[in-house]
Amino acid sequence: MSDISQSHIRNFCIIAHIDHGKSTLADRIIEKTGLLTEREMQEQVLDNMELERERGITIKAQTVRIVYTAKNGEEYIFNLIDTPGHVDFNYEVSRSLAACEGAVLVVDAAQGIEAQTLANCYLAIDHDLEIMPVINKIDLPSADPERVINEIEDVIGLEAQDAPLISAKNGINIEEVLEQIVTKIPAPEGDSKKPLKALIFDSIYDSYKGVIVFCRLFDGTVKKGTQILMMATGAKAEVVEVGTFGAGQFIPCDELSAGMVGYITASLKDVSGTRVGDTVTDAQRPCTESLPGYKKVLPMVYCGLYPADGAKYPDLRDALEKLQLNDASLQYEAETSVALGFGFRCGFLGLLHLEIIQERLEREYNLDLVTTAPGVIYKVYKTDGTVVEVTNPSNLPDPSEIDYMEEPVVDAEIMVTTEYIGAIMKLCQERRGVYMGMEYMEETRALLRYVLPLNEIIYDFFDSLKSRSRGYASFDYDIKGYQRAELVKLDILINKEEVDALSFIVHADSAYERGRKMCEKLKKEIPRHLFEIPIQAAIGSKVIARETVKAVRKDVLAKCYGGDITRKKKLLEKQKEGKKRMRQIGNVEIPQKAFMSVLKLDDED
């Protein structure tokens, strides 16, 4: 190990637009270098969460160390750092990139450059990475590598004439990719003699080893017994073990030195002390300054999570505790709802993060959840001069006590092809965006800048953006701060009873529209009862929208099935199954789906 010098290390990541074959190429590289035999290869080794494989996106950064014998006969160490692929995790992506010297840019030979190709590419350029283009899917009948090569050269300005033409799926030309990684991507240039300076790009909790910190060493060395210090959080610990990454396993070694990528385990109880982006140094001999770019990632989106079955509350608490060990950006605290009982108010990085946590809770912990409408942190300036932060609409003070309110806003940058500029500007206006300017990146592509309220983008802004630009818009944002806004609390009354779990805070101008949509959606979700059920949206005591669920007058299965009782029974069982997943509010049974349906109000637009 130690006889491999930095000149024989290559640290890189793979970047691509979604579905251009990032994970497949990673698999082939791992397979080709013989780390795993084909039999051992699970399809797409790196996306190892069930959920990741299903959604085709990478959620957590994954890393693998590969030994490659190049054509020149020498052995090289490849550290492949896979990156998450969504704007919610942009910060994690940027930290993963910061751990590399180069990036393999995968472009689909048929589709060419797409929005995320560009966004990822610029992100990599920002980090001074050497970008090595690869044209994938050349086996497709519609593949046109020549055109794509020219596109890469014209649009991104990268030399692409000798880009490997490959098919990751069929294993064509993978060798060429490996050779170019050796020749094109620079070796790390750290100094092992300097004080330890390592970047944390991920950390996980393992029930045997405790916290495992994934890091890239820029300078210095680290080994068992080193007293380490996390420069931003100030956490200190003694190193228990260091090592490198196999495929899905940890391989201990004696020492990690400058240029290497590996893991450190230390006597740390939870991941909160090991923030992504922080710098690890030697407590006895610290480096003078930390690596640039560290941010404390704060939750931006809050919602209530409730167990469908109230008795499962302790299970939900345990599950959240476990998930938090691995995910420092997840926050939660206990809360109670009149409609839903005991649950938790949870904070997430964004809506995808929320969905992922929710799905993991449901699948990995077998919990049935009810989620309330996501919201942000509002600042409420009260007439008595105090300021309170509100994440749960139910905690909003009485309107008479409120002087004014502020909401978080973001600086948003949207890259879009010129033909969709109009559609995207319209979208931003609908979401109360303030136009800040536009720059043409080139003839066909422009960068739009808007200030947007965060609560307008947490719902489904990303989806709308994609659908209105046919996937050709990419989006990035930074929290700008707080801004005064006319906000109101919208309440939903079902059969005259207020349902706290359905209340939300919204801008006064869109309250009417939201209220109307909520009522319409709820009307669809709430089954008919023996009596008429009014559904109302109200601000204070003023009703602004109303729908009615008509009473059932007839529900009979008057069909002849002969002796085929099974069909009849199945229908009744289905009806009964539906009832089980209901919440009783007053004398109305509301399906849990109804609480969720209000999360996606703009579906039908």
Q: What are the residues binding other proteins (CB under 8 A)?
A: 530, 550, 552-560, 562-566, 569, 571-573, 575-576, 579
CA atoms of 492 and 504, how far apart (whole Å)? 9
Beta-ladder partners of 447: 415, 439
Collapsed DSSP state (helix, strand, coil) of residue 115: helix
Choice between 251 and 552, CB closer to other proteins? 552
Distance of CA 232 to the CA centre of its chain: 23
Query: Shortest approach of other proteins to residue 587 CB, angstroms?
Result: 11
Shortest distance, position 566 Cβ to other proteins, whole Å: 6
DSSP 366-433: ---EEEPPPB-PEEEEETTS-EEEESSGGGPPPGGGEEEEEEEEEEEEEEEEGGGHHHHHHHHHHTT-
Which of 71/550 has CB closer to other proteins?
550
Distance CA 257, CA 190 (A): 9
Q: Could you tell me which of 579, 536, 602 has the C-alpha nearest to residue 373? A: 602
C-alpha 339/C-alpha 89 separation (Å) is 33
Q: Which amino acid is at 29?
A: I
Q: Which is nearer to other proteins, 98 or 526 (CB)?
A: 526
Beta carbon of residue 589, minimum distance to other proteins (angstroms, whole number): 11
Tell me whether residue 400 or residue 566 sits nearer to other proteins (CB atom).
Answer: 566
Nearer to other proteins, 38 or 577 (CB): 577
What the block records as the tokens of 187 is: 């070796």
| Closer by beta carbon to other proteins, 542 or else 576 | 576
Q: Smallest gap, in angstroms, from Cβ of residue 316 to other proteins?
A: 27
Tell me the closest approach of the beta carbon of residue 584 to other proteins, in angstroms: 12
Q: State which residue, 193 or 567, has the beta carbon closest to other proteins.
A: 567
Smaller CB separation from other proteins, 542 or 554 = 554
Give me 285's structure tokens.
Answer: 């001999």
Q: How far apart are CA 62 and CA 245, in angstroms?
A: 9
Least distance from other proteins to the Cβ atom of residue 37, Å: 43
DSSP 129: P
Asked if residue 382 lies in contact with residue 388, where contact means CB atoms within 8 angstroms, the answer is yes
In whole angstroms, the minimum distance from the beta carbon of 402 to other proteins comes to 40
Q: Say how many Å lie between the first and final Cα of the chain, rounded.
A: 58
Q: In this complex, which beta carbon is closest to other proteins, that of residue 73 or of residue 562? A: 562
- Least separation in angstroms between residue 570's CB and other proteins is 10
Rounded least distance, CB 560 to other proteins, Å = 5
Give the nearer residue to other proteins in terms of CB position, either 296 or 570: 570
The runs of H, that is alpha helices, within 43-83 are 50-55
Torsion sign (Cα): 287, 293, 296, 297: negative
- Angstrom distance (rounded) from CA 182 to CA 163: 14
- List phi, psi (to 5°) of 472: -95, 20
Tokens of 272: 């909160």
Distance in Å, CB of 547 to other proteins, minimum: 12
Report the residue number, 528 or 600, with the smaller CB distance to other proteins. 528
Cα separation of 511 and 289, whole Å?
49
H/E stretch holding 354: helix 351-364
Closest distance of CB 269 from other proteins, Å: 47
CA pair distance 85, 46, nearest whole angstrom: 13
**Minimum distance from residue 579 beta carbon to other proteins (Å):** 7
**Tokens 């509350």 appear where?**
313
Q: What is the closest distance, in whole angstroms, from the C-beta atom of residue 534 to other proteins in the complex?
A: 17
* Closest C-alpha to 41, from 32, 54, 50: 32
**CA 312 – CA 317 distance, rounded (Å):** 9
Residue 569 or 600 having the CB closest to other proteins: 569
For 162, phi then psi, to 5°, come to: -100, 20
Residue 39 or 553: the one with the smaller Cβ distance to other proteins is 553
Angle, alpha carbons 248-253-259 (nearest 5°): 85
Tell me the closest approach of the beta carbon of residue 488 to other proteins, in angstroms: 30
Q: Which is nearer to other proteins, 436 or 552 (CB)?
A: 552
Listing DSSP states for 242-297 in one string gives: EEEE-SSSEEEESEEETT-EEEEEES-SSGGGS-TT-EEEESSS--SSPPTT----
